[in-house]
Structure 1
């Protein structure tokens, strides 16, 4: 049925939009109608995911909210490592409150009355505290409390709670991107064995040696090195004094910084990796767009889909479309993927908000421009859109061999353990899965 559905979708696109393969970049947009918006944002500022063994700031007094949590406070180091003061900062939650206010201004007319309604807005978050809390803070700015929404006099500033939906991490291949996929792990292992990666790794070996000598890790993996680097970056952002051995490894443009920043692109380096890491999200959004153009999207007032996500969600999405220049997507950075109607034609626009600026230029989608007809978009990126379900796409190809009818059950019983063995084998050798390496920083 899925294959039949995809064929029908392609036929619809070709037949309906064949006359609109080009939309003038200079065409006035005043009369164009915004029909639907997808919003994908990274969570707000967070504490380190975990301390390293010799971390001087691994005590609970430094990050009382816990590790990997969105921040509400910042620590300012004074004369010694053990002495610090707490200062409230506009960080983490505050950053998302401001982003929510921006989204309200941008999509007020799309919502009609600017109010939240469950048949107009749907919010999905990865199943991490920091993304759920970021979404909640964002929604406070997006849908501020109005007088008719006050439900308790004890908290008059808090309006109607808005549902935030999640999927367990181990089943999430859309937002958290941590659902196990044997075929992806094999593709990533091939990248680790490539000459390109080995040469990049050689340039930072001296940094790794220094880092491992002082961090306390024994037989450290690349994943351990990234964890230390990321933790040190958070310490610096929190104004904590860094050890002298850090040197320039955190400085933009240093070999160490380039190695880990360029690693974001490596997570979706090939067509196969793009399909497995971003293809399902792109497919989900395109199907929603198509249903909207046909007036078949349910509920019919559904106009905004929000994803509270991670840096790799954004970097993989941009890289899959050929729009990613190596960088770490900032906290609360945001992608806006919008569907418009121009007369009888439909096109999409993509925006990337990675600064505090409100005036966003549309991204120039390769081969399609800033106003990309939906049929052209689909044709350009059809090669990274999955045609099967996740389990089928992720299965490693097994060698064909004659199987007796009496052995069929035994063969089926072996498939699962074989795939699991591949996953464990690759993870053990390289010490990290790509999702856990850059996961959700």
Structure 2
């Protein structure tokens, strides 16, 4: 019995050792964070400008217009604390500051053309219709007589919103339903900027540039020689094409999300942050996206249409390819027949004018000589 027990014990030990040899190491193939991209909006600020009838003038703001407030600094500090908590163990103490991205959004005739087409489109006019009567009364109340939504957004809604946050007394007409309508018009203006009409082409000329930049950094992060772990984009102005220029950094976050087709249609709040994380798991890279738009709630997961919440990097690159421009300058050229005709006529006018100038110069230079020769023959 003793010998038999010994053999059983040895067999059991051998089986256990064999089982251990095939048991996977918990560290092998485990999900590992490799790279992070953050795109966040600035914190609370004073208005950039305001409407003519606004009793609250620039002197009412301690630092003047367009400046970060104490509340905005606190919002950024809170965001920094959250980022430290989320990535503190992932990052070391080194930090390099440089200008990472110079977005070329100033002169893009094709995008301006698409903006104009959108405002004339049936879909946009249908969405605007419920606000027509309200927009007719707004100039008398505010003193701002512009009809474009971007102007109403920046010169009426934005200053009133800033003032309400800081407990200024708003004009009596700006109570309740008025602010709701102004907010909805502002959201419609943002939606019309990047969507409603030819959204993918618009994205190629705006937010898609940033998508391409982020994708390139993620691809670089898969290389063994890469040491960069996190890139942050702050206050990147995606929209500078309207007249006058509208520089609102909520358009940065929303422009990126529209290009990714994950925008929720709501103006991004102060210090909101779009997170993109690259993971390595079982030899394959995955992209996960989150949106932090509330301080009391963990970031909400975002799913790229056509993929899963944890999207394989190769699939992610394939899905976002249609919104990444191959040649931004070329794609920004005017393409409509009307604009092309105007361009052709302008070129033709320049050529004809040039020829006339040459003929006139020749006549002025040689004309007197011809007259002199004729006079000598008499």
Normalised to the residue count of structure 2, the TM-score between the two structures is: 0.73
Matched residue count: 301
Structure 1 residues 359 and 29: CA distance shift in structure 2, 3 A: farther
What do the CA deviations read for 1:215-263 (whole angstroms, capped 9, x no partner)?
2234554333222121111111111111112243454xx4443232133
Distance in 2 (alpha carbons) for counterparts of 1:237 and 1:250: 16
Partner residue in 1 for 2:76 = 96
Equivalent residue for 1:381? 320
Q: Which has the higher helix share?
A: 2
Three-state SS of the structure 2 residue aligned to 1:37 is: strand
Measure, in 2, the Cα distance between the counterparts of 1:246 and 1:208.
13
Quote the Cα distance in structure 1 between the aligned partners of 2:331 and 2:142: 39
CA contact under 8 A between 2:37 and 2:276: conserved in structure 1? yes
Whether the 8 Å contact between 1:265 and 1:316 is mirrored in structure 2 is no
Matching residue of 1:259: 185
Sort the Cα spacing of 1:201 and 1:101 in 2 relative to 1 into closer, same or farther, 3 A.
Answer: same
Q: How does 1:142-161 map to 2 (within 5 A)?
A: none
Contact 1:249–1:257 at 8 Å: present in 2 too?
no
For 1:328, which of 250, 263, 267 is the aligned residue? 267
CA deviation after TM superposition for structure 1 residue 282, in Å: 0.6
Matched, 1:397 2:349: no
- Map 1:281-300 → 2, pairs under 5 A: 281-295=210-224, 300=226
When residues 321 and 48 of structure 1 are mapped into structure 2, their CA distance, relative to the original with a 3 A threshold, is same
How far has the Cα of 1:202 moved from its partner?
2.6
Q: How far apart are residue 336 of structure 1 and its match?
A: 0.8
Post-superposition offset of 1:291:
1.6
Equivalent residue, structure 1, for 2:134 = 207
Quote the offset at 1:295 in angstroms: 2.9
Structure 1 unpaired stretches of 5+: 1-27, 73-90, 119-162, 402-406, 415-441
Which structure has the larger Rg over C-alpha atoms? 2
Contact 1:275 1:386 in 2 (8 A): yes
| TM-fit CA distance, 1:164 | 5.5
Q: 1:179 aligns with which of 101, 106, 112?
A: 106
Offset, 1:341: 0.6
> Counterparts in 2 of 1:12-411, with a 5 A limit?
31-60=30-59, 62-72=60-70, 91-111=71-91, 113=92, 115-118=93-96, 163=97, 165=99, 172-173=103-104, 178-218=105-145, 220-226=147-153, 227-251=155-179, 254-269=180-195, 270-295=199-224, 300-309=226-235, 310-357=249-296, 359-388=298-327, 390-397=328-335
- d(CA) in 2 for partners of 1:248 and 1:205? 18
The RMSD of aligned alpha carbons is: 2.7
Residue 286 (structure 1) shift: 0.7
Q: What is the alpha-carbon distance in structure 2 between the residues aligned to residue 206 and residue 70 of structure 1?
A: 35
Confirm or deny: 8 A CA contact 1:210 1:245 kept in the other structure: no
